[in-house]
Amino acid sequence: MKNRYTEEQIIGFLREADAGLPVKELCRKHGFSEPSYYAWKAKFGGMNVSDAQRLKTLEAENTKLKKLLANSMLEIDAMREVLKGK
C-alpha cells in the first residue's frame, strides 16, 4: 500500500502534536486517522527527517536481502533434492 504522506510530512505532523495541537484536531486538519498518528509516533517519534530517510533506506535494503536469502535457500533445497535422487 502506498503511503500518502512522506516521512518529512509525518515528522512535521508529530512536531505539531508535540507543540501542543490536540491529536484529534491534528488528524482532522490533515485527513488521517488517530491510529495512523499513533503508529507513526511509534515508528518515527523522536526522529528528524534524515533519520527517517535512513530508516526507509535500511528497510528497503532489508527487504531485498530477505528475498535474496529466501531464493538462495530454495536453490539449496532444490539441489539437495536432486542430489538425493542420484
In a domain, 2, yes or no: no
**pLDDT score of 53:** 87
Do residues 14 and 42 make contact, with C-beta atoms less than 8 angstroms apart?
no
In a domain, 69, yes or no: yes
Into how many domains does the chain fold? 1
In a domain, 47, yes or no: yes
In a domain, 1, yes or no: no
**Given a cut of 70, is residue 36 above it in pLDDT?**
yes
More confident residue, 79 or 52: 79
Range of the domain at 21: 7-85
- Please give the backbone phi and psi of residue 41, each rounded to the nearest 5 degrees, phi first: -65, -40
In a domain, 56, yes or no: yes
What does pTM read for this prediction?
A: 0.64
Average pLDDT over residues 3-29: 93
**Given a cut of 60, is residue 3 above it in pLDDT?**
yes
Cell of 83: 542430489
In a domain, 81, yes or no: yes
In a domain, 60, yes or no: yes
Amino acid letter, residue 66: K
